[in-house]
Amino acid sequence: MPKTELSHRAQNTPPSPIRKLAPLAIKAKKAGIHVYKLNIGQPDIESPEEYFEGLRLFDEKVIAYEESQGNERLCRAWSKYINRTLRIDTRPEQFIITVGASEALVFTFMTCCDPGDEIIVFDPTYANYLGFAAIAGIDLAPVLCDMEENFSLPERSRIADKITDRTRAILVCSPNNPTGTVCSKEELRLLFDLCEEHNLFLIVDETYREFVYDDFEPFSILNLEPNSERVIVIDSLSKRFSLCGARVGCLISSNEEVLASALKIAQARLAAPTMSQFASAYMLENIKDDFLQGVVNEFRVRRDALYAALKEIPGVIVQKPQGAFYTVVQFPVADADKFAAYMLDKFSYDGKTTFIAPAAGFYMQDSSQGLPQARVAYVLNKNDIEEAIGVLAAGLQSYSGK
């Protein structure tokens, strides 16, 4: 019997570049080597006590389906949280609660695009956008950002050149994963104006909104365009409250049609998890602003430690990230994929090694751009980061693939 074929969609969905080398890390761990995990955006900060308190307060006898749009109290609490922190005026009805920002992105792609349509993104890009696009059957059209310019947005004409009659939206992530770059107000304005001119949606992934350093203040596209029907904000509790496993995100829009259509998709998947939404609502109602201030301060310290340690390594090129908790680093190696594998498979220093995510998988247009680069996530405490980069420097010295 011939083999039963799988869908092209399944075959074309790329594996995560972040998790690709995980089996080697597991092997190293089994061999008793301590692995510093700088490959994945999993913060080590303790989740807020208010979330656990919310879980304990849940006292229903049946864990029933939640409303497809999301727990009403959570929509209200999230709207209030955003209004307080950004000094704007959203309404709970503008929110659809999803299983993380991930599901919000899939809903948004499916709502805005038909199969074969295109969304413009910026390269290097958050690799899971490729997976979401494959699920939705759409194409991503990447515009390359330059490492020498700290991955800031390319000039308007280069973005405009990518617009075709199949383009439905521009998607920008700020603060950015994987580059740590933050869009200025002027850059967001430029993107919005382009969308106005070409009648496109502007999707802004604000998963890391509060993670900004130096002179940046948390800023949303909703500060610029609070009522525009072409703006869709993607948000998440995962990173800012160290709640990656709670799986709570949302999409926010002023566009009634977008909300009604996304809701139909949300209805088809029934609902996001009931208890997690209950606990998230309780947490947002009760958490103090100093939780997040403390978290952001901690990440600033880590960013400074990482940047200083990387700058010391001969041949390494790194820009100071302005936000989120990642940066893309160029190493003096021919292929960072091979170097990352070497670190896990062949190298240890004092029983320790460091796990970084090769950057080629974050580049869509031309993965050779990212060949000597890797994404480094500063999700460990300052001491561990310094140790991890020390181990990385020792690994580079002994590595022959330069």
Ligand X SMILES: Cc1ncc(COP(=O)(O)O)c(C=O)c1O
Report the interface residues with ligand X, using CB under 6 A. 41, 100-102, 126, 173, 177, 205, 207, 236, 238, 244, 249
Per-residue b or e along 242-254, where b marks 16 or more CB atoms closer than 10 Å to that residue's CB: bbbebbbbbbbbb
Going 320 to 387 to 330 to 134, the CA torsion angle's sign is negative
Query: Residue 347: helix, strand or coil by DSSP?
Result: coil
In angstroms, the CA 211 to CA 384 distance is 20
CA atoms within 13 A on the CB side of 337: 13
Nearer to ligand X, 101 or 141 (CB): 101
CA-to-CA distance for 45 and 381, rounded, in angstroms? Answer: 9
End-to-end CA distance of the chain: 48
- Nearer to ligand X by Cβ, of 81 and 339: the residue is 81
Nearest approach in angstroms of CB 18 to ligand X is 9
| Least distance from ligand X to the Cβ atom of residue 162, Å | 20
Neighbours of 44 (CB within 10 A): 11
Identity of the residue, 237 or 309, whose beta carbon is nearer to ligand X in the bound complex: 237
Q: Are β-strands 118-123 and 95-98 bridged in parallel, bridged antiparallel, or unpaired? A: unpaired
Residues in the chain: 402
Beta carbons of 208 and 324 less than 8 angstroms apart: yes
For residue 246, the minimal CB distance to ligand X (Å) is 9
Residue 236 or 277 with smaller CB distance to ligand X: 236
Task: Name which of 278 and 347 has its Cβ closer to ligand X.
Answer: 278
How near is the Cβ of 127 to ligand X at its closest, in Å?
Answer: 9
Q: Could you tell me the smallest distance in angstroms from the CB atom of residue 41 to ligand X?
A: 4
Q: How far is the CB of 104 from ligand X (least distance, A)?
A: 8
Of 14, 17, 12, nearest to 39 by C-alpha is 17
Angle at 309 between CA 209 and CA 38, to 5 degrees: 55
Of residues 173 and 329, the one with the C-beta less far from ligand X: 173
